[in-house]
A and B are shown apart, each in its own frame.
Chain A
Amino acid sequence: MAKQEALGKRPLHVLEKIRENLAKLNEKMEVMIELQKHGRKDIQSMPDAPLDVMTLLSMPDHLRKTAMTVCRLGRATAEEIAEQTRRARAVESAYLNQLVIMGYLKKERQGRKAYFYVERENQE
């Protein structure tokens, strides 16, 4: 009985893995499409670049809106950000991932969900 159950779960597990990988691939493609749209192939990755107000001011408008919303919410998924900005989830996902590449945001996966946040280390 137990063996049968284990066998039953396995395809499910594999499917889940495939779904996760497809989601990751999709995110990467969204970023690439967005980068192309805005002609910013030269975006430099700077690990731990501070997301201070002067940086926010100098950002292109579309990214500032996303970054400001993350600042306000503290930690959020692309869906939660999209609710606030009233833009499509896929668009927000692309902007968020772009901000991660630029080093302004951090991303953390928890199960199916990806959370984006600003790292403000040593708050002590």
Chain B
Amino acid sequence: MGKIIAVHSYKGGTGKTLLSVNLAATLVKHGKKVCLLDLDFRAPSLATILKTEKIECWLNDYLNSVCEIDKVLIDLSDRIQNSGKFVVGLANPSTEAIRDMSAKDRKWEMRALGRLLALRDSLLNNKGFDYLIFDTSPGLQYSSINAIVSADLVLVATTFDRSDVDGTKRMLRELYDLFEKKTEVILNKVLHDFSSKAGKEEMQTAMKDIYQVPLLGIIPCFCDVLKGEGNIIFAQDKPEHPFAKILDEIANRIDKNTL
């Protein structure tokens, strides 16, 4: 039975999309059948990052009940060598589409939740996907909460930024807990030295004290990630890079269901 993972954060720029794409690619490299969906309708980015062309249908159309999910999915398995299956569903990045999505009413959002919940049947049960990964908008957006409610596991990307730490703490208590969601925190853009085992453990204990949940991963601030300008899928292009190695560990832990 497959699993739905929502990647979320309190603030923007915490690395949700970077994590979503690379986690998806890593799981694909592990031979899994993965579907990555861009649910960040405010600032869609997967279409640019994955350089996809000629999109027939967007996820917007699926949620608007204009088309079915098969029409939205694009097979990118050939982008990743020796792999399982990698398909993506994209959010429409046009200004008109973003405006349209931000003006939806509560009834529409309720139907959109129904459409998202239906993906468990259509993609996990019927098409046999191992993972559905939702890349979301930051904060308490309708589309993000819909994604969280539909997910089995929420990965929260956070940084050391004080407002981010405070906001993430609040969301753990007042959002994920209320929906009884299994939640894991990934600390990103870390500048501290944790090359020693003791340093790493110390940071993990400190983070556990703050968030009251264990840390799934600690990712240092890599200049190479910034230099890549969003063009590099590390799992595929630089598998020996420490960033790719950390993602490998995270994917293993998710896959072994040891969370």
A residues sitting closer than 8 Å to B (CB atoms) are 50-57, 61, 64-65, 68, 71-72, 74, 118, 120, 122-124
A123 touches B117 (CB 8 A): no
Q: Are A52 and B110 in contact (CB under 8 A)?
A: yes
Residues B117 and A71 in contact, CB atoms below 8 Å apart? yes
| A–B complex contacts, Cβ < 8 Å, 22 sampled | A50-B107, A52-B107, A52-B110, A52-B142, A53-B113, A53-B142, A53-B149, A54-B106, A54-B145, A57-B145, A64-B178, A64-B179, A68-B149, A68-B179, A68-B180, A71-B117, A72-B117, A118-B114, A120-B110, A120-B114, A122-B65, A123-B111
A53 and B114 contacting across the interface, CB-CB below 8 Å:
no
Question: Does more than half of chain B's interface fall in helix, strand or loop, or is it mixed?
Answer: helix
Residue pair A53, B109 in contact (C-beta under 8 Å): yes
Tell me how far the C-beta of A9 lies from the nearest C-beta in chain B, rounded to whole angstroms.
42
Closest to B142 in A: A53
Q: How far is the CA of A124 from the CA of B110 in the complex (A)?
A: 14
Would you give the shortest CB distance from A92 to chain B, in whole angstroms?
A: 16
B175 at the interface (CB under 8 A from A): yes
Known A71-B117, A72-B117, A120-B110: A57·B178 in contact at CB below 8 Å = yes
- Report the minimal beta-carbon distance from A8 to chain B, rounded to whole angstroms: 46
The reply on B183 being an interface residue by CB < 8 A is no
Is B146 engaged at the interface, CB distance under 8 Å to the other chain? yes
Query: Which of A53, A54, A65, A120 sits near B111, CB closer than 8 Å?
Result: A120
Interface residues of B (CB under 8 A from A): 65, 106-107, 109-111, 113-114, 117, 142, 145-146, 149, 175, 178-180
Q: Provide the bound-state CA to CA distance between A124 and B114, in Å.
A: 13
A69–chain B nearest beta-carbon distance, Å: 10
**Nearest B residue to A74, CB-CB:** B117
Report how far A51 CA is from B111 CA in the complex, Å: 9
A72-B178 Cα distance, complex, nearest whole Å: 15
- Chain A residues, CB < 8 A from B180: 65, 68
**Could you tell me the distance between the alpha carbons of A74 and B179 in the complex, rounded to whole angstroms?**
17
Of chain B, the residue at the smallest CB distance from A55 is B106
In the complex, what residues of A have CB within 8 A of residue B117's CB?
A: 71-72, 74
The interface residues of chain B lying within 8 Å CB-to-CB of A55 are 106
Given A52-B106, A56-B149, A65-B180, A71-B65 contact (CB < 8 Å)? no
- Cα(A118)–Cα(B110), bound, Å: 9
Which chain B residue lies CB-closest to A73?
B117
The residues of B that contact A51 with a CB separation of less than 8 Å are 110
B146 to chain A: closest residue by CB:
A53
Q: Provide the bound-state CA to CA distance between A55 and B142, in Å.
A: 11
| A contact residues around B110 at 8 Å (CB) | 50-52, 118, 120
Contact (A123, B142) CB under 8 Å given A56-B149, A65-B180, A71-B149: no
